[in-house]
Structure 1
Amino acid sequence: MFKNSFHSIATTWLAGVLALLPLALSLALLGWVVSLLNGLVGPSSMVGKLFAELGQPFVSSQELAWLLGTLVLLVALYPLGLAVQLGLKGPLSRLFGYTLRRIPLIGPLYGLADRFVGLLDKKEDADLAAMSPVWCFFGGDGTAVLALLPNPQPIEIDGRAYHAILVPTAPVPVGGGLLYVPVEWVKPAEMGMDRFTSIYVSMGITPPSQPHA
Structure 2
Amino acid sequence: MLKKSFQSILTTWFAGLLVLLPLTLTLILLGWLLSLLNSMVGPATLTGRLFATLGQPFASNPYLAYLFGTLLLVAAIYALGLAVQLGLKRPLARLMDLTLGRIPVFNKLYNLAERFVALIDTKEGADIEAMSPVWCFFGGNGAAVLALMPNPEPLEIEGRRYYAILVPTAPIPVGGGLLYVPVDWVRPANMGVDAFTSVYVSMGITPPSVPAVRPE
TM class, shorter-length: 0.7 to 0.9
Is 1:92 the counterpart of 2:92 in the alignment? yes
Aligned length: 204
Mapping of residues 126-205 of structure 1, within 5 Å: 126-129=127-130, 131-150=131-150, 164-167=165-168, 169=170, 173-175=173-175, 177-178=176-177, 180=179, 182-183=181-182, 186-189=185-188, 191=190, 195-201=192-198, 203-204=206-207
Taking a change above 3 Å as real, the CA distance of residues 191 and 210 of structure 1, as seen in their structure-2 partners, is: same
In structure 2, the partner of 1:41 is: 41
Taking a change above 3 Å as real, the CA distance of residues 113 and 62 of structure 1, as seen in their structure-2 partners, is: same
**Secondary structure of the equivalent of 1:44?**
coil
In structure 1, the partner of 2:23 is: 23
Q: Distance in 1 between matches of 2:145 and 2:194?
A: 14
* Higher relative contact order, structure no. (Cα contacts within 8 Å, ≥ 6 residues apart): 2
Q: CA RMSD in A?
A: 3.2
Q: Is the 8 A contact 1:52 1:68 kept in 2?
A: yes
1:30 deviates by 0.7
1:173 deviates by 4.1
**Secondary structure of the equivalent of 1:101?**
helix
Taking a change above 3 Å as real, the CA distance of residues 24 and 119 of structure 1, as seen in their structure-2 partners, is: closer
Q: Is the 8 A contact 2:189 2:210 kept in 1?
A: no
**Normalising by structure 1, what TM-score?**
0.77
**Secondary structure of the equivalent of 2:57?**
coil
Q: Distance in 1 between matches of 2:165 and 2:17?
A: 43
1:155 deviates by 10
Taking a change above 3 Å as real, the CA distance of residues 55 and 163 of structure 1, as seen in their structure-2 partners, is: closer
Q: Distance in 2 between matches of 1:211 and 1:66?
A: 62
1:183 deviates by 2.3
Taking a change above 3 Å as real, the CA distance of residues 59 and 180 of structure 1, as seen in their structure-2 partners, is: same
Q: Distance in 1 between matches of 2:15 and 2:116?
A: 44
In structure 1, the partner of 2:55 is: 55
Which amino acid is the alignment partner of residue 210 of structure 2? P
Q: Distance in 1 between matches of 2:107 and 2:148?
A: 39
Q: Is the 8 A contact 2:135 2:212 kept in 1?
A: no
In structure 2, the partner of 1:83 is: 83
In structure 1, the partner of 2:111 is: 111
Q: Which runs of 5+ in 2 are unaligned?
A: 200-205
Taking a change above 3 Å as real, the CA distance of residues 179 and 58 of structure 1, as seen in their structure-2 partners, is: closer
Say which is worse superposed, 198-207 or 26-35, in terms of deviation.
Answer: 198-207
Structure 1, residues 97-147: CA drift from partner, whole Å, max 9, x if none? Answer: 221123345322211111222344464554444x43221113422443321
Q: Distance in 2 between matches of 1:188 and 1:205?
A: 14
Q: Is the 8 A contact 1:154 1:183 kept in 2?
A: no
Structure 1, residues 60-94: CA drift from partner, whole Å, max 9, x if none? Answer: 11111111001111111232222212222111111
**Normalising by structure 2, what TM-score?**
0.76
